[in-house]
Structures are given as structure tokens and as C-alpha cells.
Amino acid sequence: MTYAKSLYCRDRYRSLVVDCDSMTRQAPPVVDLPSPVTALGQATAIAVHVRDPHGVRRLEAFVEQNGIQYRVWENAPTSRWTDDTWSFVAGTNATPQLKDGTAKLIVVAVSNGLLRKTARLERDVRVVTRPPVISVDSDQHYLYLGMADLATFNVSGTFTEAGVKVGDQTFRAWPMPGGKQGFFSLFAFAWNIPASTVPVAYASNGTGNDVTSPIVFQFPKKEQPKYTVHNLVVSDQIYAEGNRRVGPEWLGRSRGAFCQD
């Protein structure tokens, strides 16, 4: 064997060793859920984000309950997708075998690399097929523009969020103090909200099954406060003086909320 041929064989052997070493160190795909999933309803939207420099060969999703796995989604993306998000819908509409109770969401991603490394993501979820039930106190609430009030209510069934909605504003609920049954919510009726807006107590179980119940209220027309909007122009001199007296943090919030430069 000539010297040049010997060098070629040696270099070729080293390159093969390096290639094999890099293959054995190939990492599996990285799988995560951009939006946490805690409950599955009739048709719950789920997004899965996968990263793999070699591309993604196959994606599958399962729901496991009582030791039985149900395939709820599968996809075979092309190998060029190295960092992307896929969406699918899972729930009792497509998998009627699922029953109310605990379950497990499983996502499996297979790399397009030579070793076909596999990643598996598991999340505990709760299957919820029935919406919660909400009942509001029967007391009549006297509401005033720009002021606050307190409502109490009971929620039964599975829910992840509850409170009071006034227009597009949401006020969360808190458990009643002293171990009493039910919840309360301190809500505000903003000065610029139309008087015809009906505040409602609401409860959600995280699967799109939101329920609401109107609050009994009345607007005392003769006692409503009057509000006037003033467009104030704050000069740099006034702003500098206010900054010196009350501090930049407080004044910055006030200026951003009420004034325009």
C-alpha cells in the first residue's frame, strides 16, 4: 500500500468514526405545548411545537384513560420542517370512549435523523363533558357608574375559572371567608360603560363550556354621579415639577393613562 493511499484510508476511517460518534449523540426532538392543556371537552383545540434540526418524520397524539390509549391525531410532516407548530382537536366528539374523569395526553414525535430518535410528552388532563352550573344570589344590587359592588354565587361541577363579567371586563371570584360555601366577587362598573350593560356571573371549565347567570340589579337614575371628561395638556415644565415631587414611577403611570404628549 502506498503512503498516499495509507493516509487516505486513515482519514477516511477517522471521518467514519466522527460520523458514527455524532449519530450516537443525536438528540431527540424537543416537544412542548405553547398553551397549557388541563382539560379536554367535546372538541378541545391543542397546539404542539416541535424542534429538530434533522426534521420531523412523524407526529402522533394519544389520550390514555383507564389504561387504554386512543389515538386522537397523527401527522407525517415532510422532513424539511425543523421548527414548527401543529394544531389538532381532541375530545369526546371524535373519541366517544372517553368518560368524565382523569386522563393523560401523550404526544410522540419521531426525528427524521438516521437514528429516528423519539420524544414523548405527557400531560395529566381531565375529561369534562358537562358544563359547570352557576347560581347567583337573588339580592337586588344597586349599581352606580364608576363604583363597585359585591356579588355572591355558587358553582358546582368542574370549573377552572369563575367571577363576574361587566362588558369586556372580568373580575375573578374568591372563596367565601370562614369556610362558608360559595364564592364572592368584587366588581366595578366603570364610569364609561353603557348603563344597559348587564353584569353576569360566569364559570368556565377550560374546554369552551362557559356558563353565565345575570345579576339582579337596578340603576337609581336620580342618584347617579355625573362625570366630565377633560383633555388636559401637561407641559414639560409641569411634568418635571411633578416628577420631582411625587416620583417618576407614579407620574409616568398617570401621564400614560390620562394625557397625551
What is the domain-level CATH number for residue 49? Answer: 2.60.40.150
pLDDT (0 to 100) of residue 245: 59
Q: 58 with 97, same domain?
A: yes
pLDDT (0 to 100) of residue 255: 44
The amino acid at residue 209 is N
The whole model's pTM is what? 0.59
Report the range of poorest mean pLDDT among 63-67, 219-223, 251-255: 251-255
Of the pLDDT bands very low, low, confident and very high (cuts 50, 70, 90), residue 251 is very low
Tell me which of 134 and 192 has the higher pLDDT. 134
Q: 177 with 240, same domain?
A: no
Structural domain tally of the chain? 3
Q: 238 with 217, same domain?
A: no
Q: Which residue, among 261, 216, 257, 222, has the nearest Cα to 238 in the 3D structure? A: 261
Of the pLDDT bands very low, low, confident and very high (cuts 50, 70, 90), residue 31 is very high
Q: 183 with 260, same domain?
A: no
- Is residue 142 domain-resident? yes
Q: 73 with 146, same domain?
A: no
**Residue 90, domain extent:** 27-127
Whether residue 7 is predicted with pLDDT greater than 80 in this model: the reply is no
- Is residue 21 domain-resident? no
**pLDDT tens for each residue of 69-96:** 999 999 876 667 788 899 999 999 999 9
- Is residue 93 domain-resident? yes
- Is residue 2 domain-resident? no
Say which residues have a Cβ less than 8 Å from residue 210's Cβ, sequence separation at least 6.
131, 202, 203, 204
